[in-house]
Amino acid sequence: MPRRNYNEDDFEETTFSEDYRSVLKEKHMTAGNTRLASHNKTRVAYFHDEGVGNYHYGERHPMKPHRLTLTNHLVLQYGLHEKMEIFQPRRATDDEILNFHSSDYVDFLKSVTPDNVDKYEKLFQQFNVGDDCPIFDGIYDFCQRYAGATIEASRKLIANGADICINWSGGLHHAKKSEASGFCYVNDIVLGTLELLRYFPRVLYVDIDIHHGDGVQEAFYSTDRVMTVSFHKYNGDFFPGTGHIDEVGSSLGKYYSVNVPLRDGIDDDAYVWLFKEVIDAVIGTFQPSAIVLQCGADSLGCDRLGCFNLSIRAHGRCVQIIKNFNIPLLVVGGGGYTVRNVARCWTYETSVLVDTELDENLPPNEYRDFFKPDYKLHPHLKGRVENQNDRTYLLKVRQRVMEQLRYLDAAPSIQMQEIPPDIQGFLDGEQEQRDLEDDSERGKEKRSTSRVVHNSEWYENDKDNEAEAHDSSWSSHPMDIDD
């Protein structure tokens, strides 16, 4: 049965629910000549550091690393760990972080603590730390943990050790080369993508966070080996203030940055339709050899800092669309500030990636009180914000994206000698380091495993308070797109 494609005439008549049901029947029908295994042999690797959820930005700060503990706990209680290989990743080294970030910035992150902030206060403005990006205990260690997981997941794909790699602690897409931004300090996505470029000729980056993926776009703005595609709210004021549809790249990277600006309140039907239209065209044109998907959950309805109306099922539908292309895939987290919904969303998307249906009723778990009063996997998240994305606007956005892609005659060609020659060297070094660690007593304790024997090894008992009040200060100023 052929897969259905939306067009302008049936946009209003076709519902997301109808499309989702049809895709459930077709989800194993794949296209493309990639190295991915057949649908029932897809190899998924899951990277989780058991300590990454224990850091704390501050009592009133909306970013709660504890959401990672909740997510991992639900993944385990649903039994999804039995469908994947589970890895305890190592921390990123200074040299690995310096592959993108400047040495003075890295030195600052390594040295500053809440106890010596007075000594470094004169550098706060230079490195953009303060209210949004506070200094907290273990800040550099936290960065090493989530960045290390993304780097190791990238290398797993390079070595053909998995078809899909997941790191929910990653996805911090705002960090710049020499400064923190938007709760992000080290840009693990850029670091992971740089690893992928050692082997894969072309990498596609897709971002479904409500905020523009500005740090990743900036890093690859002048290259044609990485295409960045970001779906986000844009009105000129909403953080980070970038992501206009006219930001298309420069130099060799001209037309390889694709921005899809959206207005407040977009719903499931409109988002999924536009996502599929854009992604189908992008992949058909760019022909990526690997994909990095950032799954920021602040694009869900009822997010503390968000203003969309997406359900968890629609958010996961975007993951399914990407997965169906059967291209080596790295999946990372990102934003998301209503903790209980972030955990539900990423758990559901883990199930999508391992082709497993989950019970609507959440399994018994230590953090059950976080999910009251419904205790469901798919709470009602729609309709809180008026949808300002009418059909005319969405069709204009789609048209502008298609016009941009027409400037690209074909996917850029990469000569093999342009791939760094030391790829096998660092893979051998990585394996040698792992062998040495595995032979030690400490290594035996940390060795990765395809089965989790004791759930207590994968979550902590710490509690964290979640601010429930929605920040109503985000105003909407619809953007006009020129004809």
> What domains lie within the chain, and their CATH numbers?
42-458 (3.40.800.20)
Backbone angles phi, psi at 173, to 5 degrees: -85, -5
Q: For position 299, what pLDDT does the model report?
A: 98
Using one digit for the tens of pLDDT, what is the confidence trace for 65-89? 999 999 999 999 999 999 999 999 9
Q: Are 184 and 174 in contact (CB under 8 A)?
A: yes
Strand order in the sheet with 164-167: 85-87, 44-47, 164-167, 329-332, 290-294, 203-207, 226-233, 257-262
Q: Which of 81, 174, 232, 315 is catalytic?
A: 174
Peptide bond into 363 cis (omega under 30): no
Using one digit for the tens of pLDDT, what is the confidence trace for 308-342? 999 999 999 999 999 999 999 999 999 999 999 99
Specify the range with the lowest mean pLDDT, choosing from 18-27, 173-182, 392-401: 18-27
Kindly tell me if the per-residue pLDDT of 256 is higher than 50. yes
Backbone angles phi, psi at 181, to 5 degrees: -165, 140
Q: For position 481, what pLDDT does the model report?
A: 54
Question: Would you place residue 382 in the very low, low, confident or very high pLDDT band (cuts 50, 70, 90)?
Answer: confident
Question: Would you place residue 432 in the very low, low, confident or very high pLDDT band (cuts 50, 70, 90)?
Answer: low
Backbone angles phi, psi at 36, to 5 degrees: -65, 145
DSSP-derived letter for residue 115 is T
* Average pLDDT value for residue range 256-261: 98
174 is catalytic: yes
Report the alpha-carbon distance of residue 214 to residue 65 in Å, rounded. Answer: 21
Kindly tell me if the per-residue pLDDT of 442 is higher than 50. no
Give the tokens for residue 74. 């639900």
Residue 426 CB burial class (10 angstroms; 0-12, 13-18, ≥19): middle
What percent of the chain clears pLDDT 70, i.e. is strictly above it?
77
Residue 21 CB burial class (10 angstroms; 0-12, 13-18, ≥19): exposed
DSSP-derived letter for residue 130 is S
* Average pLDDT value for residue range 462-471: 43
Residues whose CB falls within 8 Å of the CB of residue 193, separated by 6 or more in sequence, listed in order? 154, 203, 205, 216, 219, 220, 226, 292
Question: Would you place residue 100 in the very low, low, confident or very high pLDDT band (cuts 50, 70, 90)?
Answer: very high
Question: Average model confidence (pLDDT) for the chain?
Answer: 85
Pick 440 or 192 by higher pLDDT.
Answer: 192
Rounded to 5 degrees, what angle do the CA atoms 419, 420, 423 make? 105
Number of neighbouring beta carbons within 10 Å of residue 275 = 20
Specify the range with the lowest mean pLDDT, choosing from 11-15, 100-104, 322-326, 353-357: 11-15
Specify the range with the lowest mean pLDDT, choosing from 20-29, 231-240, 404-413: 20-29
Kindly tell me if the per-residue pLDDT of 17 is higher than 80. no
Q: Which of 270, 264, 248 is nearest to 400 (CA)?
A: 248
Number of neighbouring beta carbons within 10 Å of residue 24 = 11
